[in-house]
């Protein structure tokens, strides 16, 4: 029987096709803005937000997901991180590490309390990713997010990129760096929360970071790096879903394995290209 005959796989495949361009485009900017560690913090915050949502009575089954708790807590943490980062003298990774420790500690304490009333397997899929938990409502949310993020990025992409690679030049050009910081973390938070059912909270950082890293290995310009990032994310999500069906493993782990393989492939191509360039220079 073909995998496409399964309704849950069809929904997961559509979700992957919607998710890959979104996270691929954001991945390019995450790496450029040096916010790779932020995605880890948001993944941990999503688990804490999930437990908060369950504790407040939100459902987590085929009829619904506690997006209120996840989105609300993740947005609160993301905005707080940006606010503190712009006012503290500490390095960004140190500040994010503080928030990771706080959200993880709070999530563990709340998880103990919540699992006294709920089955822990209800949130296991959010930790590792699961195909069967994707609903039609998730697909509509992803489609709306794709459109919204696409329109916003089309409007502010050049400013975001300039502020990422050359902050002094961006300030001289009148770019409002604070506004871009807050806007970007809001977009990233929404994308991460809606991708958890496919990738899982513990592995979501890979899909936010590795596509851009793999694209940088072979890209020759910023625009081609963006296209490579989207292509790698698309190949990894579709390939990972196929692997998860073939070997009956969590979809998040399968997607990350494909991502790692694609990064290794592009790294090998990059090394081979540099080796040829060095030989040609030596012959001249």
Task: Please check the confidence at residue 197 and state whether its pLDDT lies above 80.
Answer: no
3-state secondary structure of 120: coil
Domains of the chain: 3-202 (1.10.3470.10)
Q: What is the pLDDT of residues 176-196, one digit of tens each?
A: 888 999 999 999 998 888 887
Q: What is the DSSP string of 196-213?
A: HHHH-TTTHHHHHHHHHH
For the chain, the maximum distance between any two Cα atoms, rounded to a whole number of angstroms, is 73
What is the Cα Rg of the chain in Å? 20
Looking from the CA of 152 toward its CB, the CA atoms found within 13 Å total 18
Bridge partners (DSSP) listed for residue 163: none
pTM: 0.85
* Rounded Cα distance, 211 and 253, in Å: 15
Of 187, 206, 37, 67, nearest to 214 by C-alpha is 206
Q: Average pLDDT for residues 221-228, to the nearest whole number?
A: 88
By the 10 Å C-beta count (0-12 exposed, 13-18 middle, 19+ buried), 97 is classed as middle
As a dihedral over the C-alpha atoms of residue 189, residue 105, residue 40, residue 38, rounded to 10 degrees, the angle is 60
Task: Please check the confidence at residue 228 and state whether its pLDDT lies above 90.
Answer: yes
Determine the pLDDT at residue 142.
86
Q: What is the pLDDT of residues 256-265, one digit of tens each?
A: 899 999 999 9
CB atoms within 10 A of CB 94: 11
3-state secondary structure of 56: coil
Which phi and psi angles does 151 have, rounded to 5°?
A: -65, -40
CB atoms within 10 A of CB 158: 12
Query: How many residues in total does the chain contain?
Result: 284
Q: Average pLDDT for residues 39-63, to the nearest whole number?
A: 76
By the 10 Å C-beta count (0-12 exposed, 13-18 middle, 19+ buried), 271 is classed as exposed
* Rounded Cα distance, 181 and 199, in Å: 25
Determine the pLDDT at residue 173.
86
- Where residue 32 falls among pLDDT bands split at 50, 70, 90? confident
- Where residue 61 falls among pLDDT bands split at 50, 70, 90? low
Which of 55-59, 210-214, 242-246 is predicted least confidently?
55-59
């Amino acid at each position: 029987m073909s995998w496409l005959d399964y309704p849950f796989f069809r929904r997961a495949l559509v979700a992957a096709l919607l998710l890959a361009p979104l996270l691929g485009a954001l991945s390019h900017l995450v790496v450029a803005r040096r916010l790779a560690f932020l995605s880890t913090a948001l993944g941990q915050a999503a688990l804490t937000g999930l437990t908060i949502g369950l504790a407040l009575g939100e459902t987590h089954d085929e009829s619904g997901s506690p997006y209120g708790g996840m989105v609300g807590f993740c947005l609160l943490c993301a905005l707080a991180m940006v606010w503190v980062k712009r006012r503290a003298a500490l390095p960004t990774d140190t500040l994010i590490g503080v928030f990771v420790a706080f959200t993880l500690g709070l999530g563990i304490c709340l998880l103990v309390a919540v699992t006294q009333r709920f089955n822990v397997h209800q949130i296991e899929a959010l930790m590792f990713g699961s195909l069967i938990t994707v609903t039609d409502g998730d697909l509509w949310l992803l489609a709306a997010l794709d459109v919204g993020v696409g329109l916003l990025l089309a409007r502010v992409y050049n400013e975001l990129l300039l502020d990422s690679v050359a902050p002094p030049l961006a300030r001289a050009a009148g770019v409002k760096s604070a506004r871009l910081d807050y806007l970007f973390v809001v977009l990233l938070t929404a994308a991460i929360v809606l991708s958890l059912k496919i990738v899982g909270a513990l592995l979501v950082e890979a899909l936010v970071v590795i596509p851009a890293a793999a694209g940088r290995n072979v890209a020759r310009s910023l625009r081609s790096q963006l296209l490579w990032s989207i292509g790698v994310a698309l190949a990894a999500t579709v390939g990972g879903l196929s692997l998860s069906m073939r070997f009956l493993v969590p979809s998040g782990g399968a997607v990350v394995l494909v991502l790692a393989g694609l990064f290794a492939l592009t790294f090998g191509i990059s090394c081979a290209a540099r080796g040829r360039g060095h030989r040609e220079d030596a012959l001249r």
